[in-house]
Amino acid sequence: MQRMSITVWPLALCLLAVSGSLSAHHSTLVFDTTTPIWVKGTAVTIYTVLR
C-alpha cells in the first residue's frame, strides 16, 4: 500500500499540472464563432460522415 501511494501521488500531481496548460491551449475563447467565413476553392476530397 505504501509503495502504491508513492507511485500514485506524483502521477496525480503531474496530471493536474498538465491539465491546466492543455485546457488553456485548447481554449475556444480565442476564436470568433459568431462571424461566418466564406472560402472559395475546389473540393478535392469529400468525406461522408456516417450516423
pLDDT in tens, 1-51: 566 677 788 888 888 777 666 555 556 667 777 889 898 999 899 888 887
Residue 17 has a pLDDT of: 76
Compute the distance between CA of residue 11 and CA of residue 16 in angstroms, rounded to an integer: 9
pTM above 0.85, yes or no: no
Question: Three cell numbers at 43?
Answer: 473540393
